[in-house]
Chain A
Amino acid sequence: MFENLSDRLGGVLKGLRNRGRLTAADVEEVLLEVRTALLEADVNVAVVRDVIDKIRQNSVGATASTALNPGQQVIKIVNDQLVAMLGGETLKITYAGQPPTVVLLAGLQGSGKTTSAAKLAGWFKSQGRQPLLVGADLQRPAAVEQLRVLGAQLNVPVFSEPGDPVATAKSGLAEAKRIGRDVLIVDTAGRLAIDAEMMQQVKEISSAVQPKFTFLVVDAMTGQDAVTVAQAFDSTLSIDGVIMSKLDGDARGGAALSVKHVLGKPIAFASTGEKLDAFEQFHPDRMASRILGMGDMLTLIEQAEKVFEKEKAEVAAAKMLEGEFTLEDFLEQLQQLKKMGSLQSVMGMMPGVPKELKNAEIPDDQLKRTEAIIFSMTPQERAKPELINGSRRVRISKGSGTTVADVNRLVKQFGEMKKMMKQMGNKGGRGGKGSKMGGVNDDLAAALGSRLGPR
C-alpha cells in the first residue's frame, strides 16, 4: 500500500545518480521523503523530528563513499540511524537469587498480553526454566480459560482464582514457591492508560508480586498514540522492556521506534506468528529495514530459507550456473516455492517489482499449469528440453490441458533463464563460492527487475 523508501527515493535521486556527492539541497529533499516514509510507518511525529535531525547531522558530515551511490549512501545512513535508535543496550534476562523470578505483563486491551504470556512461558521453558503462569485478567470473559488452554498446550501450569486480581497475583506467587516453579509470569487485564482506577490496580498487582521484569506489550500496528501509552505505563509501573506483538502482520511497526525512543527501554521480544513458538528476541536491524519498507526482502529470504532445503537449493543453484539445470530440477524447486504461499504474496515481497504488477491479480493456477506441462513431459524431455519438437508439443499440451502456445512459452522462458544463469555463472566464476553467489544475487535481481518491469 505504501511505497518503500527506496522506491520513494528513486525519483529524487534519479537526477543525481552519477554525481559523487550529495549537496545540502539534495539532502533536504531526501529528508522530506524519509520523513514521509517514517510517518507512513507510524513513527510518532515528535520522534520523526528527532530522527530527521540526527540523520541531517550525519549526512552533512558524511564523506562520499566510492562503494555506494548517493542513494545507497542515504539509505545506509538512514538505516544505520534507525538501527542505532532501535537497538543499543539489549535486555539481559537474569534470574532472581531467591526464586521465583517474577515477570509482569501489562498493556492495552487486545495488544496481545495473554498470548505473549504463554509464548514467554514457552521461551523460559526452552531456556531450561520452570515457569508458572498466573491469570490475573479477571475482567475479560474467559481470559483465564484462554491462558489455561495455552498453558496446557505448553505443558506449563496455570494458576488463577476468581475475585480480586491483586489477591490472585499474590496467591500465584505463593503457589510458585509452594510447588517450586522458578519463573512466575503474571498476565493482567488490558487497560487504558488514562483509566486511573485500572492503572492504580496494576500498580497494586506490581507491588504485591515485586516483578523483576515488567514488560509492556505493544501491538505492532499501533499508531501515533503508542508514545502516550508507553509513557503512561512507564510512569505507573516503571517498564523494563517491551514485547512487540503481531509482527507477522504487514504493519511497518514504527511504534517500536517511537516507544524505544521515548522510554529508552529495550524492545526485548517480538511475537511473530500464530504458533506458540513464534516468539523471538528482537532484531533492531530487521525492524529498521521494515520501518523503511525494505524488510520484505528479509522476509522473503527467511521464508525461502524455511521452505527450501538448503543443500538441494545449493546443488540446484550450482547446476544452474553450470547450465546443467533441467526441467526436472526446475519442477522440484517450483514445488518448494509453492510452499512459500501464494504467488501474489511472494511477488509482493520482491523488491523492485512495479506496483502495477504487485496489485495485479496473478492466478495461482499459473503454477499448477506450469507443473502440469512438465508432468506431461517424458523424463528425456525434462532432461533435454531441446528434444521437444512440434509433435511432442502437441502431445504435451493435450496431456496437460494447455495450449501449444503455453508449452512453447515455458520451453522458451526456461531456455532464456538457463542462458541467463549460465552467463552469470561465467561472470562470477572467478571468486569463491560465497562471493559468486553474492554477485549472482545482484545480477539476477537486476535481470528480474528488467523482466518484470513495465513493457
Chain B
Amino acid sequence: MLALGFFAPRFAAETAPTVFIALAVLTVVFGVGVVVVGRRRSSPAETVEAVQTTVETVGTTSVRERLAKARATMSGAIATALTRSSITDETWDELEESLLRADLGVATTTRVLQPLRGLVASKKITEPSQLVATLKDEMRGQLDKGPRKLNFDDSLQAPNIWLVVGVNGAGKTTTIGKLGAQQRKLGRSVLMAAGDTFRAAAGDQLQTWAQRSGSDFVRGAQGGDPSSVIFDGVARATAKKIDLVLADTAGRLQNNSNLMEELAKVRRVADKGEGKVTEVLLVIDATTGQNGLTQAVQFSEATQVTGVVLTKLDGSSKGGIVFAIESELGIPIKLVGLGETIDDLVEFDADEFVDALFV
C-alpha cells in the first residue's frame, strides 16, 4: 500500500473518482468470488510431443570466431579478476559485475555464484582462474534443457509447421527468411505464411525472402486474421505436398492480453488442418534485458514455445538473458543469429556461448 499511499495525494484531485470507482467495482467483483482456478501454467518446457527428429544442420560458422570480432576491443571486469593472485572480495564483485553486465540478471547471477562461495570458503578453490573455470563449467552444466535440433517429423504425411513468435523488432521475419533458405538448401520444400498482417509491409518483407530462397508464399489482407492466413498456408502446403510451413506472426508486447489471445488462437488453428506444429520458436533480441524472462513466460503460456532463437548476437550485447530463460524456465536455445546473411543463423553452442559471456 505504500506505493498508493505515496502517490495518491498527487493524483487525488484530478483522477480520484475514476480510480476510486474502478477499485470499488473490483472489490465487489472479487468479493463475489476470487475463484482461483489454479496457478498459471508454468511449464514452458513442455514440448509439442515427442516427434521423430532428424538432424538439422544449419550454418556452420563458429560462434566464437564470429564473436571474437565483436569482443576484440572489450575487456571485462573478469580480466581484472584473473590478474589477482588470490580470491578476494573484489574478485566476487568483479565476477558479479561481469555477469550482470551480460544481462544475466540479479537472481540468476546470485544463483550461479552461490555454490562457488562454499567451495572457496572450504578452500576447495583457491585461485581466481580455477574459480572462473568452475563457474563456466557450472553454467555450461545448466544449459542442458533438451535437444537443440529443430523438430522435423519425417513420418508426417502432412506439412511440419514451425511457428515464429516474439516482441516487435526481435527479428522474426528475418529469422524465417534465413531459416527458409537453409531448409531449402537441405532439400526441403518450404512455404512461408505471412501471419504478420499488422505491421505495414511485413508481408512484402517476407515475400522478398520467399523469392530469394525459392519458397512458396501465402499472405492475407493487411489487417486480416492471422489465423486464417496460416491455416490457408497449411492447406496450400498440404495440397502441394510441401514439407515445411514457416509461419510468421506479428510482433506483440506480451502484456497486451488481446494480442496474446490472438496468438494463442493462431497456435490452435495452425494445428487444426492437416499439418502439425512441430516447433514454436520464440525470437529474442540479444540486446534484451530482464524483460526477456517475462517474454519467455508469457509467450510460452500462449503458444507452448519449444525453443529460443537469439538474434543480433553479433553486436556488443551478450544475450545473457537467454541463460536465465533456459536454466530457469527450461526452454532450450536452438539458434543464434550472427549477422545479416543467410549463413549467419547457426545452431546454439553452449560452450561457446558461456565463453563469450566472459569475454
Contact = CB atoms under 8 A, between A and B. Distances in A.
Q: Is B one of A's binding partners?
A: yes
B122 interface: no
Contacts of A1: 293-294, 297
A108 interface: yes
30 contacts: A41-B290, A45-B100, A108-B287, A194-B316, A223-B289, A223-B290, A224-B101, A224-B103, A226-B287, A250-B294, A252-B290, A300-B22, A304-B21, A313-B21, A345-B255, A350-B26, A360-B34, A360-B37, A360-B38, A363-B35, A366-B32, A370-B29, A410-B28, A437-B13, A437-B20, A442-B8, A444-B20, A444-B23, A448-B23, A448-B27
Residue among B25, B171, B289, B290 with the highest chain A CB neighbour number at 10 A:
B289
Interface residues of B, number: 89
A423 B246 CA distance: 61
B330 to A, nearest CB: 16
A367 B29 contact: yes
Contacts of A6: 2-3, 6
Interface string A294-319: 10011011001100101001101100
Given A222-B289, A223-B289, A441-B16, A413 B167 contact: no
A95 interface: no
B100 A304 contact: no
A438 B204 contact: no
A194 B12 contact: no
Nearest to B105: A40
Contacts of A313: 17-18, 20-21
A382 interface: no
Interface stretch (A159-167, A170-178, A332-340): A332-340
Interface of B: 1-9, 11-13, 15-40, 70, 97, 100-103, 105-106, 167-171, 174, 177, 198-202, 204-205, 207-209, 222, 253-258, 285, 287-294, 297, 312, 314-318, 320-321, 340
B interface SS class: helix
Interface of A: 1-2, 4, 6, 9-10, 36, 39-42, 44-45, 71-72, 75-76, 108-112, 139-143, 145-150, 153, 192-194, 219, 221-226, 228-229, 232, 245-246, 248-252, 254-255, 274, 289, 294, 297-298, 300-301, 304-305, 308, 310, 313-314, 316-317, 320, 330, 333-334, 336-337, 340-347, 350-352, 357, 359-363, 366-367, 369-370, 406, 409-410, 412-414, 416-417, 421, 434-435, 437-442, 444-449, 451-452
Contact of B288 (A223, A316, A363, A367): A223
Contacts of A361: 36-40
A286 to B, nearest CB: 11
Nearest to A150: B200
**Chain A to chain B: the 7 pairs with minimum beta-carbon distance, closest first:** A223-B289, A110-B169, A438-B12, A413-B31, A437-B16, A149-B200, A42-B289
Contacts of B201: 142-143, 145-146, 148-149
B271 to A, nearest CB: 23
A277 B315 CA distance: 31
A366 B33 contact: yes
Contact of A142 (B15, B25, B205): B205
A296 to B, nearest CB: 8
A41 B297 CA distance: 17
A163 B284 CA distance: 31
B1 A346 contact: no
A344 B254 CA distance: 13
A7 B29 CA distance: 25
A342 B2 contact: no
A229 B288 CA distance: 13
B290 A222 contact: no
B22 A249 contact: no
A331 B18 CA distance: 15
A223 B11 contact: no
A interface SS class: helix
A371 to B, nearest CB: 10
A409 B198 CA distance: 43
Residue among B1, B199, B256 with the highest chain A CB neighbour number at 10 A:
B1
A337 B25 contact: yes
Contact of B289 (A255, A344, A413): A255
A438 B31 contact: no
Nearest to B173: A141
Nearest to A146: B201
Given A314-B17, A438-B13, A223 B168 contact: no
A249 B105 CA distance: 19
A229 B5 contact: no
A343 B37 CA distance: 14
Contacts of A140: 174, 205
B18 A304 contact: yes
B37 A363 contact: yes
Contact of B208 (A40, A141, A298, A370): A141
B200 A145 contact: yes
Contact of A366 (B35, B174, B290): B35
A333 B25 contact: yes
A437 B13 CA distance: 7
Nearest to B29: A370
A249 B167 CA distance: 9
Contacts of A4: 3
Contacts of B289: 42, 221-224, 251, 254-255
A44 B101 CA distance: 7
Contacts of B34: 357, 360, 362, 452
B1 A352 contact: yes
A150 B132 CA distance: 50
Given A2-B290, A4-B3, A249-B253, A225 B36 contact: no
A310 B198 CA distance: 32
B27 A225 contact: no
A21 B174 CA distance: 56
Contact of A76 (B6, B25, B103, B167): B6
Given A250-B254, A300-B22, A444-B20, A222 B287 contact: yes
